């Protein structure tokens, strides 16, 4: 019988801070597709794979961190969780809180959440508050809230989030047989780049500053090498490129519209220790990469997710992609969450035709 994926904690428990007695809160997240992208290989001269995190239960990689964060909350007996969110964290927190029977409070920047993500938080029964401010303001409020009230913080400053998220690196190594040469991903609050770097290191038998215990140094290594980490920000929200926080971040890629990343030091370590970089791409390049992924690879991602591929294409255009390098791009969230941005500027007013084959053939120009 074929193995059925059991969720990241059950699949990788010996490398996570849980033991067999812990009751796992899971929606069977992880085990996402790693898709070879021949058209992107042709455009870049590299061997390119796309890690499709939009295939997670709530449509983003946030589910990997949420299964471990919520499992720990239940273990500790807290009844309510809270998060600040650009959308996907709240969608994921609301779903996992529903599964676990917990209350979920969500603090959002007013008017800056894609409709699909807002719908998710609402249908899963979260208690929503919209703030006249940006994500960074929301995170400040929720940090204070969770310090003063018996409410658990499930943003990525919660170390259990990064523990779950590191498993994406394990899956890539398990599938490719070793780490790729280069790993590219979008950078917003910078938890994910930190988590991948931890995952690649732990699978190679090392720990990083983000590691929670020494298990990686006891267990048999599964990788012999580490990738370079290339992080990609949106030009209007690029604090790592500026070298300091950005006051009023602005980008069409709302999931990375963050000016003051919480995991700053971990991300800088991932960049420098891997001899990688964190750069910025324009919104225009992000939307172009989104279209290329949809039209040439068959994967519909939300704008923030396309930043990784936009970064790859920009590096290729400036001749910085080593020939035949093995490259994995993470695409972080599902395109269905934000159809408004994907359809902007397109003609979607179809004039109805007569209901006959002839009319259809004529309209299709066949
Ligand atoms: C959260 C998120 C990001 C940013 O990840 P960080 O860990 O905050 O850097 C990027 N893309 C999508 C779709 C996200 O939901």
Residue-wise pLDDT for 68-110, tens only, equals: 999 999 999 999 999 999 999 999 999 999 999 999 999 999 9
302 lines ligand 1 (CB under 6 A): yes
pLDDT above 90 for 112:
no
Q: Is 190 annotated as a binding residue?
A: yes
List the chain domain ranges: 8-60+159-343, 79-149
Of 85-89, 119-123, 214-218, 238-242, the poorest mean pLDDT is in 214-218
Residue 111 token pair = 């008017």
- Express as a percent the part of the chain with pLDDT over 90: 96
The residue nearest atom 2 of ligand 1, judged by CA position, is 255
The residues, any chain, with a CB within 8 Å of residue 263's CB and separated by 6 or more, are 156, 157, 162, 189, 190, 191, 193, 194, 210
The residues, any chain, with a CB within 8 Å of residue 136's CB and separated by 6 or more, are 245, 249, 258, 259, 260
What value does the mean pLDDT take over residues 236-244? 98
Q: Is 332 annotated as a binding residue?
A: yes
What value does the mean pLDDT take over residues 112-118? 92
139 lines ligand 1 (CB under 6 A): no
* Interatomic CA distance for residues 164 and 198, integer angstroms: 11
Look at residue 64 in the predicted model and tell me its pLDDT: 98
Residue-wise pLDDT for 21-54, tens only, equals: 999 999 999 999 999 999 999 999 999 999 999 9
232 lines ligand 1 (CB under 6 A): no
Furthest CA-CA distance within the chain? 69
* Interatomic CA distance for residues 100 and 81, integer angstroms: 11
Inter-CA distances, 212 with 171, 202, 215, 268, 356, Å: 19, 11, 9, 18, 64
Q: Residue 291 phi/psi, 5° resolution?
A: -65, -40
CATH code, residues 79-149: 3.40.50.1100
Residue-wise pLDDT for 288-332, tens only, equals: 999 999 999 999 999 999 999 999 999 999 999 999 999 999 999
162 lines ligand 1 (CB under 6 A): no
Look at residue 17 in the predicted model and tell me its pLDDT: 97
> What is the rounded end-to-end Cα distance, in angstroms, of the chain?
45
> Which of 52, 59, 61, 106 should be mutated for ligand 1, with most atoms under 8 A from CB?
61
pLDDT above 90 for 145:
yes
60 lines ligand 1 (CB under 6 A): yes
C-alpha of 188 from chain center:
9
> Which of 231, 333, 337, 341 should be mutated for ligand 1, with most atoms under 8 A from CB?
333
What value does the mean pLDDT take over residues 191-214? 97
State the DSSP code for 183: E
CATH code, residues 8-60+159-343: 3.40.50.1100
* Interatomic CA distance for residues 145 and 9, integer angstroms: 29
Q: How far is the CA of 192 from the centre of ligand 1 (A)?
A: 7
What's the whole-model pTM score? Answer: 0.97
Please identify which residue in the block is written with the tokens 């295939």: 55
Q: How far is the CA of 103 from the centre of ligand 1 (A)?
A: 23
- Express as a percent the part of the chain with pLDDT over 70: 100
* Interatomic CA distance for residues 292 and 317, integer angstroms: 15
pLDDT above 90 for 209:
yes
Q: How far is the CA of 97 from the centre of ligand 1 (A)?
A: 20
């Amino acid at each position: 019988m074929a193995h059925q994926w059991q969720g990241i904690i059950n699949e990788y428990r010996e490398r996570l801070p849980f033991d067999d007695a812990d009751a796992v809160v899971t929606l069977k997240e992880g085990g996402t597709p790693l898709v070879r992208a021949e058209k992107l290989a042709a455009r870049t001269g590299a061997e390119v794979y796309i890690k499709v995190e939009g295939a997670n239960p709530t449509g983003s990689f946030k589910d990997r961190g949420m299964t471990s964060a919520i499992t720990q909350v239940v273990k500790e007996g807290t009844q309510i969780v809270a998060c600040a969110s650009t959308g996907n964290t709240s969608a994921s927190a609301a779903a996992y809180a529903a599964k676990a029977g917990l209350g979920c409070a969500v603090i959002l920047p007013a008017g800056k959440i894609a409709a699909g993500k807002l719908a998710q938080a609402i249908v899963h029964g979260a208690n929503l508050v919209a703030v006249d401010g940006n994500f960074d303001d929301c995170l400040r409020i929720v940090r204070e809230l969770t310090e003063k009230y018996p409410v658990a913080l499930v943003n990525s400053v919660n170390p259990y989030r990064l523990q779950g998220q590191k498993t994406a690196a394990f899956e890539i190594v398990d599938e490719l047989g070793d780490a790729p040469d280069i790993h590219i991903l979008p950078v917003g609050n910078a938890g994910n780049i930190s988590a991948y770097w931890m995952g690649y290191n732990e699978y190679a038998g090392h720990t990083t500053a983000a590691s929670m215990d020494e298990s990686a140094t006891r267990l048999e290594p599964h990788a012999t090498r580490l990738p370079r980490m290339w992080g990609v920000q949106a030009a209007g929200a690029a604090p790592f490129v500026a070298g300091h926080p950005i006051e009023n971040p602005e980008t069409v890629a709302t999931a990375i519209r963050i000016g003051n990343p919480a995991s700053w030091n971990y991300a800088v370590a991932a960049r420098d220790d891997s001899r990688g970089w964190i750069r910025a791409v324009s919104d225009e390049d992000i939307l172009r990469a989104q279209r290329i992924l949809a039209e040439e690879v068959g994967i519909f991602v939300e704008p923030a997710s396309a930043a990784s591929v936009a970064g790859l294409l920009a590096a290729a255009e400036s001749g910085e992609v080593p020939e035949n390098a093995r490259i994995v791009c993470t695409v972080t969230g599902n395109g269905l969450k934000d159809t408004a941005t994907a359809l902007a500027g397109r003609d979607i007013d179809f004039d109805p035709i007569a209901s006959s084959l002839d009319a259809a053939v004529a309209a299709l120009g066949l």
